Amino acid sequence: MKKAYIYFENGFLLEAQSFGADGTEIGEVVFNTSMSGYQEIITDPSYAGQFVTFTMPEIGIVGTNSKDNERELPHCKGIFVRQYQNFPSNFRAQENLSNFLKQHKIMGICNLDTRGITSMIRDEGSMMAIVSTEISDPKSLQAKLQESLRIEEINYIQQVSIQKEQIHTKGTFCFSQMDFQTPCTNKTVVAIDFGAKDNILNELAQAGLNVIVKPHSFDAQEIITLFQDQKIHGVFLSNGPGDPMILKNEVKEIQKLIQAKIPIFGICLGHQLLSIAHGFPTQKLKFGHHGGNHPVKNLINGKVEITAQNHNYSVTEEILQVAEVTHRNLFDGTIEGVRYKDSPIFSVQYHPEASPGPKDSTELFQRFAQML
């Protein structure tokens, strides 16, 4: 393994070892508390521009395979782990994690005190860092980091979104149908891809919906015309990376969909963009929510759901002017779900498709289908 150097914007320097791609990368450091599912996390487009610190100390033992990716290409900057296991011991493994990271030019840094990094982020907040297998001089690392753009200044949506319209055909369909490729309903939704996880699209299909996926640069008027002609019946707004406040064009198009009274369901970034489109800005959390063990109370039925989460931004209490809060985080009380008062629109901040419960939250996709 090569030596690797991590310089944080607070001046903290670490020397470690690299088991992933070589080079120099700059990004925001966050921590994830999930006990499993590292391949899903690495390939989640919402981590674009970030280094993920795993609090699980042993990473790599299950290897990687072609079926556990959330997108074909990962977009995170790299991962920080306490101890890397290079020899996978799992019947589904097709290659080790090191080869996977090198193939996709993702950095992997090990032999780190990840407990210490997590404590630092928890106390000081998410922060930018530069990681290099090429530069060891602290002053050179500092200078390169200071001259680089911060994550909130970069539109990563343009990098992770599809470029052309697609039809999503994966997912489990209704077993009552003789033809398993036929969904249980004739309702069609347009899913706007801001960096959608594949399993979200799978869950929409499993709920019995035909799914048309459009890129982030969608034309709202085209969708409104399809809705008025009853060729589509609703819109889904996906998860995605970065600061939602810089997505000015996307917000303008969403506002047109809202004015047209089209039924809309949003998850994560989609949830945040709906708030902004209604005139209420989001706020950045100190260190975000990243993990598979976040308790959320459903205020409609009183149940507590164990949820998977991955976001650095949150909808504020101002949203109560136009929406009813349906879900709250039991860790910090932040808003996790809303239902708008005068529109057929609802959204959640967490990831109901990630199944940490394992099925605590999947009813949201059925709810969307029933609303249509």
- Looking at the domain that runs over 2-153, which CATH code has it been given? 3.50.30.20
Q: Which residue has the tokens 């949506």?
A: 157
pTM beyond 0.85: yes
CATH top class, domain 157-371? alpha beta
| pLDDT value at residue 177 | 42
* 95 DSSP assignment: B
Residue 192, classed as helix, strand or coil, is strand
Q: Are domains 2-153 and 157-371 of this chain identical in fold?
A: no
Contacts of 343 (CB under 8 A, 6+ apart): 258, 261, 264
Listed residue (134, 140, 150) closest to 49, CA to CA:
150
- Residues annotated as catalytic are 268, 351, 353
| pLDDT value at residue 181 | 43
| pLDDT value at residue 3 | 98
Mean of the per-residue pLDDT values of the chain: 94
Listed residue (365, 338, 341, 345) closest to 282, CA to CA:
338
Are 299 and 326 within 8 A, CB to CB? yes
Q: Where are the beta strands (DSSP E) in 221-370?
A: 234-237, 264-267, 282-298, 304-315, 323-329, 335-340, 345-348
- Give percent above pLDDT 90 in the chain: 91
Query: In the chain, where are the structural domains located?
Result: 2-153, 157-371
CA–CA gap between residue 320 and residue 336 (Å, rounded): 13
Higher pLDDT, 209 or 171: 209
With 50 as the cut, is the pLDDT of residue 117 above it?
A: yes
